[in-house]
């Protein structure tokens, strides 16, 4: 019989790691343990606990990259110890960073005459906050130059389709939020709706190249034309910041003629998430200004603690270098052709999956023509009374799939949707398996609806 006092060893010489005392005791959770443990034990304890997390490859909720090539993994591991901000110690990392800025500015069609500048960030959220701060400063300085004293009430104009970071910016940095509500069958920001919201205190209009809610694209071209008209008639020169968190690494490859970027006269800053379709692990984002005149000198801090003089424009100070380097790896490794091949495949898979989902006949789609590899669907009206997307999301989780259900933004919050984000490691085969699992759920629903009770009682509660 096993005695409770049976003395177990700390070491795994005569047993394997699961025979050591650490696996018969609670793992320290609230206090730092008095003594440490072997690296193998610490690794195994944490590794095993993380088995409870979802499978990253089945996570169709997140936009964030879950797979990179071995060589990228190696490069990342080699550079994990480098603080990006130590530019004086790691000058080559800084040079590589600047090369990425160059490549992205050109990808977003900055011209030779443009004096573009940019920075890496932790993600699009930091990039958006920095971009909007620069517009706030630019707006104020431009007015001061004209001798205007009243500069107390800046505002930003955005659609209700924006990511939460835009609202955070308005609150944290004390800028009036002018949010254009969504309409029933239009889930994007339109030029017509923006018109009534802008005035001389508008520091920027925020537009999205692939909204978080539906993956659709705001009317960027039309909004730019509207702002050209406003400038001509009223003299207000209002900038556009494009939130290209998702679309910035997709649209330039699948539809390079589509004008949403620095080719448009009022687009002065763009953010993109390297860790989304830039195909790098979290966290790297990028912010590019068309011209350095939009980034006030006043916002750039020069620090000398690290050796040389270092100009910084970031919310955070220290951060890792690895993801910046991993971004450069992808740009070199894939080139335009490689990114295009991947993005085209993603669109093909998304369309293939959407066609199969259509056949299920229980969903309506928010975006008839997919613009990004993102599928958003709601239940058909006749299913709405008995089914609900939140339960379908839960049931899919039982099959391993992570597909979120949520309600749409204010004014259309009665619409509840499921969203599927297709990433590069989601194959056609996986799409078929997902549809097979959804079919099972649909079948049960239909049987239930016709009174033909199924034996699989555990699935009934979906409906
Ligand atoms: C349109 C949009 N903007 C901004 C963000 C925030 O990006 P990040 O997670 O890179 O900070 C997201 C995230 O999903 C997004 O979809």
Note the residue count of the chain.
Answer: 463
| Residue 185 clears pLDDT 90, i.e. is over it | no
Atom of ligand 1 nearest to the CA of 125: 11
**SS3 state at 178:** strand
Confidence (pLDDT) at 463: 20
What value does the mean pLDDT take over residues 172-188?
93
Confidence (pLDDT) at 384: 78
Provide CATH code, domain 73-330: 3.40.640.10
Q: Which residues contact 234 (CB under 8 A, 6 or more apart)?
A: 200
Confidence (pLDDT) at 206: 98
Residue with CA nearest ligand 1 atom 16: 212
What value does the mean pLDDT take over residues 129-148?
95
Q: Are strands 267-273 and 285-289 parallel, antiparallel or unpaired?
A: antiparallel
| Residue 458 clears pLDDT 70, i.e. is over it | no
Mean model confidence pLDDT for the chain: 91
Cα of 445 from ligand 1 centre, angstroms: 35
What value does the mean pLDDT take over residues 76-105?
94
Is 1-53's fold the same as 73-330's?
no
Q: Which of 248, 268, 172 is nearest to 208 (CA)?
A: 248
Q: Give yes or no for a contact between 122 and 283, defined as CB atoms under 8 angstroms apart.
A: yes
Cα of 160 from ligand 1 centre, angstroms: 14
- Tell me the per-residue pLDDT of 368-377, one tens digit each, with 9 for 90 and over: 899 999 999 9
Atom of ligand 1 nearest to the CA of 128: 4
Cα of 124 from ligand 1 centre, angstroms: 5
- Choice between 383 and 319, residue whose per-residue pLDDT is larger: 319
Residue 460 binned pLDDT confidence (cut-offs 50, 70, 90): very low
Q: Looking at 27-31, 128-132, 263-267, which range is the least confident one?
A: 27-31
Confidence (pLDDT) at 462: 20
Cα of 125 from ligand 1 centre, angstroms: 6
What value does the mean pLDDT take over residues 47-53?
94
| Residue 270 clears pLDDT 50, i.e. is over it | yes
Domain ranges for the chain, please list them: 1-53, 73-330, 338-462
By most ligand atoms within 8 Å of CB, the mutation choice from 60, 61, 120, 125 for ligand 1 is 125
| Residue 25 clears pLDDT 70, i.e. is over it | yes
| Residue 453 clears pLDDT 50, i.e. is over it | no
- Residue 400: how many other CB atoms lie within 10 Å: 14
By most ligand atoms within 8 Å of CB, the mutation choice from 59, 62, 63 for ligand 1 is 63
- Tell me the per-residue pLDDT of 128-137, one tens digit each, with 9 for 90 and over: 999 999 999 9
Residue with CA nearest ligand 1 atom 14: 212
Confidence (pLDDT) at 455: 38
Cα of 242 from ligand 1 centre, angstroms: 12
What value does the mean pLDDT take over residues 278-300?
94
Q: Looking at 56-65, 205-214, 346-355, 454-463, which range is the least confident one?
A: 454-463
Residue 305 binned pLDDT confidence (cut-offs 50, 70, 90): low
Provide CATH code, domain 338-462: 3.90.1150.160
What value does the mean pLDDT take over residues 192-196?
94
| Residue 226 clears pLDDT 60, i.e. is over it | yes
Q: Looking at 6-15, 84-93, 287-296, 411-420, which range is the least confident one?
A: 6-15
Position of tokens 């005459």? 113
Cα of 130 from ligand 1 centre, angstroms: 14
Cα of 274 from ligand 1 centre, angstroms: 11
How far from the centroid of its chain's Cα atoms is residue 315's Cα?
Answer: 18
Peptide bond into 283 cis (omega under 30): yes
Topology at the third CATH level for domain 1-53: MYOD Basic-Helix-Loop-Helix Domain, subunit B (4.10.280)
What value does the mean pLDDT take over residues 412-441?
94
Q: Which of 165, 137, 147 is nearest to 299 (CA)?
A: 137
Spatial separation of the C-alpha atoms in residues 264 and 228, rounded to whole Å:
10
Ligand 1 surroundings by CB, under 6 angstroms: 63, 123-125, 163, 165, 208, 211-212, 243, 245-246, 273, 285
Confidence (pLDDT) at 128: 98
Atom of ligand 1 nearest to the CA of 276: 10
| Residue 125 clears pLDDT 90, i.e. is over it | yes
Confidence (pLDDT) at 443: 80
What value does the mean pLDDT take over residues 175-195?
93
Atom of ligand 1 nearest to the CA of 285: 10
By most ligand atoms within 8 Å of CB, the mutation choice from 126, 162, 165, 188 for ligand 1 is 165
Cα of 448 from ligand 1 centre, angstroms: 39
Cα of 23 from ligand 1 centre, angstroms: 40
Confidence (pLDDT) at 3: 56
Atom of ligand 1 nearest to the CA of 63: 14
Cα of 245 from ligand 1 centre, angstroms: 5
Confidence (pLDDT) at 444: 73
Confidence (pLDDT) at 2: 54
- Tell me the per-residue pLDDT of 247-256, one tens digit each, with 9 for 90 and over: 999 999 999 9
Tell me the CB-side half-sphere exposure of residue 296, using CA atoms within 13 A: 15
Confidence (pLDDT) at 145: 93
Q: Looking at 10-24, 238-252, 397-411, which range is the least confident one?
A: 10-24
């Amino acid at each position: 019989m096993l005695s409770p006092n049976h003395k177990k060893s700390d070491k795994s010489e005569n047993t394997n790691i699961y025979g050591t005392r650490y696996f018969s005791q609670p793992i320290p959770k609230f206090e730092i343990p008095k003594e440490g443990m072997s690296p193998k034990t610490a690794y195994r304890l944490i590794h095993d606990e993380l088995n409870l997390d979802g499978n990253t490859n089945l996570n169709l909720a997140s936009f964030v990259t879950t797979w990179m090539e071995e060589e990228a993994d190696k490069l990342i591991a080699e550079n994990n110890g480098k603080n990006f901000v130590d530019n004086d110690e790691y000058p080559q990392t800084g040079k590589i960073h600047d090369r990425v800025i160059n490549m992205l500015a050109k990808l977003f069609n900055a011209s030779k005459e443009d004096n573009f500048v940019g920075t890496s960030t932790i993600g699009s959220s930091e990039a958006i906050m920095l971009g909007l701060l620069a517009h706030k400063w630019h707006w104020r300085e431009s007015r001061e130059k004209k001798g205007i004293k009243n500069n107390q009430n800046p505002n930003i104009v955005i659609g209700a389709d924006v990511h939460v970071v835009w609202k955070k910016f308005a609150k944290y940095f004390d800028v009036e939020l002018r949010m254009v509500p969504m309409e029933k069958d239009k889930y994007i920001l339109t030029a017509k709706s923006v018109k009534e919201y802008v005035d001389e205190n508008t520091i920027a209009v925020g537009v999205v190249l692939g909204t978080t809610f539906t993956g659709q694209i705001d009317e960027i071209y039309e909004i730019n034309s509207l702002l050209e008209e406003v400038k001509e008639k009223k003299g207000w020169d209002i900038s556009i910041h494009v939130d290209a968190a998702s679309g910035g690494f997709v649209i330039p490859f699948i539809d390079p003629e589509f004008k949403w970027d620095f080719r448009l006269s009022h687009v002065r800053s763009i953010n993109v998430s390297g860790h989304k379709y830039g195909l790098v692990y979290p966290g790297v984002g990028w912010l590019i200004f068309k011209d350095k005149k939009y980034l006030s000198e006043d916002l750039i801090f020069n620090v000398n603690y690290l050796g040389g003089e270092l100009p910084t424009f970031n919310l955070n100070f220290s951060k890792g270098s690895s993801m910046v380097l991993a971004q450069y790896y992808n740009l070199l490794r894939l080139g335009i052709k490689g990114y295009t091949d991947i993005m085209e495949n993603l669109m093909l898979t998304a369309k293939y999956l959407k066609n199969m989902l259509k056949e299920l006949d229980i969903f309506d789609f928010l975006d008839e023509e997919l613009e990004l590899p993102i599928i958003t669907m709601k239940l058909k009206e006749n299913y709405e009374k008995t089914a609900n997307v939140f339960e379908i999301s839960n049931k899919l989780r039982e099959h391993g799939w992570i597909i979120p259900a949520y309600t749409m933004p204010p004014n259309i919050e009665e619409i509840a949707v499921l969203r599927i984000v297709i990433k590069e490691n989601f194959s056609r085969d996986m799409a078929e398996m997902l549809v097979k699992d959804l079919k099972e759920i649909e079948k049960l629903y239909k049987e239930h609806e016709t009174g033909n009770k199924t034996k699989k009682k555990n699935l009934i509660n979906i409906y």
